[in-house]
Structure 1
């Protein structure tokens, strides 16, 4: 039997065995070719990029209000963060919202699982990666992307807020994307909730001192985030923003 890790998803295409590429679509887009290579390839990539936005918008246009849950793909089912994300997702559905995750394992799976168990809409926005993770089994509506920037646009456009569990670089990327867009008034303010004081304290302290004291951000920019420790606290913040 072929496992998910033996497969490579390239947008809607599944590749196995010798057909698996050694680089991702993002890598090929960003790499530097010969002097005139871009003339022959990059203009055509625009059409593929356009198709990702069209497919994403088409799939999510009728989704309705939703919250996104981010966090580590490496967290296992027996980890406290997994159950925390699962409970938050259940509460989001009970508030009348859908749940969006990156569609992979770990915290993403927990979010989709909680939403599905609560009878809500469970959405996964997957991404082509060298070591394929695959869409988790709790996703009801899944969209696979080649390009990170197209995927990130969908998270921001269709989310009413972000719940950010402990995670790594991918989690930080989504977090700071939202903070930057709100700080620069590119999007309306929405709740950004960090779950786990012990995990996020170092980041918050650094932003409040080194970064703010150095006038790299305004002191009030740190207030764009709320830090909580329990599912109940996270859901209370969401209700404060939504009035539900």
Structure 2
């Protein structure tokens, strides 16, 4: 296994070698998807890490296509050795230009509030992909989907505590709290769970999802300093 590929996590972006693109383009695709893949290859655009099957020899990737190519969620597989490098989605400040001017100061304030919790928010979903590609993804009802890396449960509480009371006239703000081992929980679900409104919380991992009732899953997955 490629050592770089072994470190990949959900919602990370990967850039493929020419060999990787040749593998993908050789697949049985319809004309619309093939045109989209050719554009991605020529423009050297990234794909996103998807849910992995344990023991699978190939890397599962995703491509949410822009409006011009039907807004499809495309599942792809490629040899792990064809990953050149990987990186994260755009930082939250980088998508400000996609918001109406009247909302940008308020957006900056939210970023600062979350940053005060030692978290650098990133944006995936339609806003993230439009910022990355320059192609149209946004619709009037598009949410802003945040990726919020947190060190532990206390940090997750602090970040969710900043998001919950945030009021503005902009898009709905969704997103995930991502812990050091890569496990993730939707911030709204985390808040409900920590407040005792629900008994279980859905934890997403690279290889699947599971309902958890207590914090043992987080302690078991702690990454040594």
TM-score (norm 2): 0.29
Between 1 and 2, higher relative CO (CA 8 Å, sep ≥ 6) is seen in 1
Q: Greater strand share, 1 or 2?
A: 2
- The structure in which a higher percent of residues are helix is 1
Structure 1 length normalisation: TM-score? 0.28
